[in-house]
Amino acid sequence: MKVLVLNTGSSSVKYQLFKMPEELVLCSGTIERIGDTEARIRHNSSKCSVDKPLTIPTHKFALKYIVGLLLDKDKGEVQSIEEIEAVGHRVVHGGHTFKSTVEITSEVKSKIKELFTLAPLHNPSNLEGINVAESIFKKAKQAAIFDTSFHQTIPLKAYKYAIPNEFLDNHHIRLFGFHGTSHKYVSQKAIDYLDNKKAKIISIHLGNGCSISAIRNGESKDHSLGFSPFNGLIMGTRSGDIDHTLIFYLVNTLNYELDEVKSILQSKSGMLGLTGFNDLRDIIAEAKRGNKKCKLALEMNAYRIKKYIGSYVAAMNGLDCIIFTAGIGENSKLIREMVCSEMDIFGIELDEEKNNKSKSGILEINKNNSKVKILVIPTNEELEIARQTFDLFK
């Protein structure tokens, strides 16, 4: 079965075409800056490689362009559009409704729409991707894979907020958890690597969005992102944990409009708000040049992660393994070093030499005698989505 995986963001589409169950990647690519005059396509397959600027006004146009590449007579991967039997869509927020991967129906789409207010940066574009894919791949089955599903095993005492009961009972206000596809994929890799199904794992996903998960027996037990993908760690543009009374203060005392506060906390805070830079590579380079704001932001970032590690060790009464994953986790030796420094109380001991190595696949970076294994595991949310889509329709 050929399964197309789509991760549709507000201005980008990431895609991979898989042959399942062989898990063979036939092609992959990204279209970035949709709606901008400087959109760019990067497409790779065994037959061709494309990397060029072009004008892509809409998501529909983007998907049609991708289909054009897939169907290309000489360089394409399929001869007819019907060969793609299933499309798997990443959907960020599944709320309390979606506990697992589902086939997309009109009812599913309206439920995803109802959740727009909970994930305003993600769910609208995810649904746009679904609508566009339905109009193009008319015969293919479509599946929604939710970032929240993996966290359904978090116990009540961890997902319930200490606010009046009616808010959970009547309005489903609770911690949901995100990046579940990534945490599931890398923790399963770690379980296989450790050969220990019961391992107590802390999985740290550090990309533009950042989150940390406590995982035991292969199940999510607690998570740093909550009701929406906002809480917890310091992210690219999101503040993570704050005292919520500062929202009242900004509105009531400093006279900000509520929408402005939302935009400050979601899009102008985090590493961007602290440094003026969004990309961690720039922040590290600046810190090396002596930029004090960047140095402090890196320290704050690592400190926040350390605090979560401590609380999750307590929550699980132990720790066997820490995983670093996603853009920053996989690539930033510095952040890994800062997070793991002075953590020997928990049996976490990083080996600097191993941390400086690069390797495809799993990289073990702890000292030989470290009680806790520290693993760098490249995430592969697309493969996890392809697996779940295939399992649903095979």
Binding site for ligand ADP (CB under 6 A): 207-209, 236, 279-281, 326-328, 331-332
Six-digit token string for 40 = 């760019």
CA distance 254 to 275: 23
Instruction: Find the shortest distance in angstroms from Cβ 329 to ligand ADP.
Output: 8
Q: Is 381 labelled a binding residue?
A: yes
14 is annotated as contributing to ligand binding? yes
For ligand ADP, the closer of residues 111 and 354 by Cβ is 354
Active-site residue, selected from the candidate residues 51, 72, 147, 259: 147
Residue 317 assigned to a binding site: no
CB of residue 381 to ligand ADP, shortest distance in Å = 8
Task: Give the whole-angstrom CA distance, residue 168 versus residue 166.
Answer: 5
329 has binding-site annotation: yes
Tokens representing 74 are 């000489």
Strand 24-32 with 13-19, pairing: antiparallel
| Kind and range of the H or E run holding 30 | strand 24-32
How far apart are CB 342 and ligand ADP at their closest, in Å?
Answer: 22
Nearer Cβ to ligand ADP, position 266 or 370? 266
8 A C-beta contact, residue 183 and residue 147 = no
Min dist. Cβ of residue 186 to ligand ADP (A): 12
Distance CA(344)–CA(213), nearest Å, equals 20
CB of 208 to ligand ADP, least distance (A): 4
Q: Is 327 annotated as a binding residue?
A: yes
Region of residue 33 (phi > 0: left; psi between -120 and 50: alpha; otherwise: beta): left
Nearer to ligand ADP, 2 or 336 (CB): 336
Q: For ligand ADP, which is the closer residue by CB, 328 or 385? A: 328
**The amino acid at 275:** T
Report the residue number whose CB is nearest to ligand ADP.
Answer: 327
Angle at 68 between CA 64 and CA 69, to 5 degrees: 120
Angle at the Cα of 248 (from 247 to 249), degrees rounded to 5? Answer: 90
Q: State which residue, 126 or 370, has the beta carbon closest to ligand ADP.
A: 126
147 labelled catalytic = yes
Residue 141 belongs to what H/E stretch?
strand 141-146
Q: Is 318 annotated as a binding residue?
A: no
Closest CA to 132 of 101, 109, 148, 103: 109
**Known binding positions for ATP:** 14, 205-209, 279-281, 327-331
Catalytic residues: 147
**Known binding positions for Mg(2+):** 7, 381
**Known binding positions:** 7, 14, 90, 205-209, 279-281, 327-331, 381
**Known binding positions for substrate:** 90
